Amino acid sequence: MKRWFARRRWWLLRVAALPVHLAVFALVVFFLVRAIPGDPVLTVTGGQIDPSRYEEVRTALGLGGTIWDQLGRYAANLARLDLGSSLLSGRTVLEEFASRLPATLELVTISLVLTLLVSTALGLLVLLRPRNVVSRVVSAYSRTAGGVPDFCLGVLFIFVFYASLQWAPAPLGRLDPGMTAPPAVTGFPLVDALAGGRPDAFVSMLAHLTLPVLVLVVAQSAIFVRLLAAALTDALDSQPTRFMIASGAGRRAVVWSILRRALPPMVTMAGVIYGYMLGGAVVLESLFGLGGIGQYAVDAVNSADLPALQGFLLVIAALTLVVFLVVDLVVMILDPRRRSGRTEVSA
């Protein structure tokens, strides 16, 4: 038994770290809300509140009693996954997010998969054919990484592909006007359209998703290709590669081994890009009217819906921490050298 634990020590520690990280984040959010200047009740209600309802709203915000009472209730509520109720709709924050999160995840996941495919192909091209015209364009673009923000690209694409060329549908929602949404089964719009037997809605959704996905792919590929080129160059310029070439391995085998050795840093990067894309989705959902959690959060800002914003931060934090956990575990499987209990290995 003891040996069983000893052998799996790293894995157990890494998984056990997740609830600790979540708790730290929840604590930060707790104090962030308490640091809001002035009276949050007045902020939320815009100063127009019936004095008889004052205490009610105050309790709804979790601000009744001493700070220790508040912290205790906050922890107890979180343990029951109770994030409070939205002040605007009255529904629980968890329900609001559960119905909207799949739409955001769909956008981000499609973009991530496409980014990985496109960037890997381009990264290899830059590595193997550096003098190719495409390679030159790609490496020039990738050096601007992050220089052209995603929202600028979004506006540019709307102007070019919608306003000028009329190739893309209007950036106003997920469906053509007049079309009814298919019944929500899984919450993922594309899946629901297929499951509900609505190929017309499916095609319309794809058309509406094309521009935002294109924006995310173009914006994030710059960063990813740049990182990938660095990882591939490292793998190319290493002892094992020299040994392989020296012992007469074929070009194909060498390229495969380079890819294999660049895989762990690639997985780490994919996790980082996932985080960037979540941030990008928040900005783009409002621009294209896609109605995921990003647009919900932006709307919550305008209506000063405090519980919704607090829940938004917690949901995003949980999501990114889980993604990083998965990334770390996958990297451990791919590269056993990183398991030896060291917490940090330079990528």
Least distance to other proteins, CB of residue 297, Å: 6
Q: Which of residues 159 and 256 has its CB atom nearest to other proteins in the complex?
A: 159
Least distance to other proteins, CB of residue 324, Å: 6
Q: Which of residues 209 and 283 has its CB atom nearest to other proteins in the complex?
A: 283
Spatial distance between the Cα atoms of 191 and 330, rounded to a whole number of angstroms:
27
Q: How many CA atoms lie within 13 A of 180 on its CB side?
A: 5
- Amino acid occupying residue 129: R
Spatial distance between the Cα atoms of 38 and 115, rounded to a whole number of angstroms:
44
Q: Which of residues 93 and 306 has its CB atom nearest to other proteins in the complex?
A: 306
| Residue numbers at the binding site for other proteins (CB under 8 A) | 21, 24-25, 32-33, 35-37, 143-144, 146-149, 151-152, 154-156, 158-159, 162-164, 170-171, 223, 227, 230, 265, 268-269, 272, 275-276, 278-280, 282-283, 286-287, 297-298, 300-302, 304, 306, 309-310, 312-313, 316-317, 320-321, 324, 328, 344-345, 347
Spatial distance between the Cα atoms of 98 and 79, rounded to a whole number of angstroms:
17
Q: Which of residues 171 and 182 has its CB atom nearest to other proteins in the complex?
A: 171
Least distance to other proteins, CB of residue 73, Å: 20
Listed in sequence order, the residues at least 6 apart from 88 whose beta carbon sits closer than 8 Å to its beta carbon are: 300, 303, 305, 308
Least distance to other proteins, CB of residue 294, Å: 8
Q: Which of residues 112 and 190 has its CB atom nearest to other proteins in the complex?
A: 112
Q: Which of residues 241 and 286 has its CB atom nearest to other proteins in the complex?
A: 286
**Which tokens sit at 44?**
């939320």
Please, what sign has the CA dihedral across residues 48, 51, 56, 58?
A: positive
Of the candidates 258, 225, 226, the one whose C-alpha atom is nearest the C-alpha of residue 239 is: 258
Residue holding tokens 């190319």?
A: 236
Least distance to other proteins, CB of residue 13, Å: 12
Least distance to other proteins, CB of residue 117, Å: 20
What would you measure as the largest C-alpha separation in the chain, in angstroms?
85
Least distance to other proteins, CB of residue 152, Å: 4
Spatial distance between the Cα atoms of 188 and 287, rounded to a whole number of angstroms:
20
Q: Which of residues 182 and 265 has its CB atom nearest to other proteins in the complex?
A: 265
Listed in sequence order, the residues at least 6 apart from 67 whose beta carbon sits closer than 8 Å to its beta carbon are: 34
Spatial distance between the Cα atoms of 181 and 175, rounded to a whole number of angstroms:
7
Least distance to other proteins, CB of residue 156, Å: 8
Q: Which of residues 50 and 344 has its CB atom nearest to other proteins in the complex?
A: 344
Helix 251-288 vs helix 239-246: crossing angle, to nearest 10: 140
Q: How many Cβ atoms are within 10 Å of 18's Cβ, its own excluded?
A: 14
